[in-house]
Amino acid sequence: MDGPSPGLISRRAFAAGMGLAGAARLPGAGPAKVIDCHAHLTHHGNPGWEEADRRLIDAADRLGIGQLCCSLLSPRRPARPEDFRQCNDWAAEAMRRYPGRILCYCFVNPGYGREAREEIARCVEKLGFIGVKLYNDYVATEPVVWPVVEQAIALSVPILHHAGHTYWLSEPQPRISDGGTFAELAGRYPEAMLICAHAAGGGDWEWTIKALRNAPGVYLDTSGSVPDEGVVEMAVRTLGAGRILFGCDMSLTASVGRIRSAELSDADRAAILGGNMQRILARRRAG
């Protein structure tokens, strides 16, 4: 065939049409920057890491995502200091390869207290990272986590924390945090900027949203592969659009579709897609 048949479009054109181009537009203004608050880079132990990172950028281009806030996690968990330092070095390299497109969270295991705090200081103050990424090494309310929260507050950066309200996993995560955990932590540290990860991929999203009602310092990211309807609308009704962050956690098409299909005002959609994350990032610059 010399070209596509009449009436057919390429896969790239279809993806672009389903993306977020113009979705963050405010009345009377140009389109705002769309920011994915929850993305991941590929560990260099995977021989295809470079191509995987390139595909991530390519997918973001096609879907209208301007910036990706990424972490790079160690496959060995709980991660040791040498693991998370190496991961963060590779993340810094990705920021240099894709300037302005990739922003990075500093991944640490808070169980290594001194090493974790030194790594956060190095990444944020010297390498320009925008926040901290915690996995499920400890429940967020355990005292071992508190020094990391206090350091993030002092540096005016957010903590993106793995989360889920699930009891059906084939490999349970006994120290996973959930919305109730973050609400409790926010009560202790109301000035902290905490991001509860993947509302649409962490189990009972209705429970999670309700648990965060009275925790204004906790943001909820919309990422995940679960295709349930109404996640974003309930989150906006319950928490307010100012506490919702667009995220994908690598489920890009599902996460984009969730925002495109949600019944939202233009202002609320623009805030979720990038405005809220821009305000979080601006706190570091203003500090």
pLDDT in tens, 154-200: 999 999 999 987 766 556 677 888 999 999 999 999 999 999 999 98
Does residue 199 sit within a domain? yes
Tokens of 264: 């939202």
Q: Tally Cβ neighbours within 10 Å of residue 215.
A: 22
Does residue 7 sit within a domain? no
Q: What would the pLDDT profile of 52-79 be if each residue is shown by its tens digit?
A: 999 999 999 999 999 999 999 999 989 9
Does residue 231 sit within a domain? yes
Does residue 26 sit within a domain? no
Does residue 9 sit within a domain? no
Residue ranges making up the domain that contains 282: 33-164+174-286
For residue 122, is pLDDT > 80? Answer: yes
Does residue 60 sit within a domain? yes
For residue 82, is pLDDT > 50? Answer: yes
Does residue 154 sit within a domain? yes
Domain at 55, CATH number: 3.20.20.140
13-22, 121-130, 170-179: range with lowest mean pLDDT: 13-22
Specify the pLDDT at position 19. Answer: 61
31-35, 50-54, 102-106: range with lowest mean pLDDT: 31-35
| Total domain count, the chain | 1
Does residue 218 sit within a domain? yes
Distances (CA, A) of 145 to 63, 117, 135, 262: 36, 11, 11, 35
Tokens of 9: 């479009």
Confidence of residue 249 (pLDDT cuts 50, 70, 90): very high
Look up tokens 């690598």; give the residue.
250
14-28, 166-180, 226-240: range with lowest mean pLDDT: 14-28
**Residue 8: CB partners within 8 Å, gap ≥ 6?**
none
* High-pLDDT (> 90) share of the chain, %: 76
Q: Say if residues 67 and 103 touch (Cβ distance below 8 Å).
A: yes
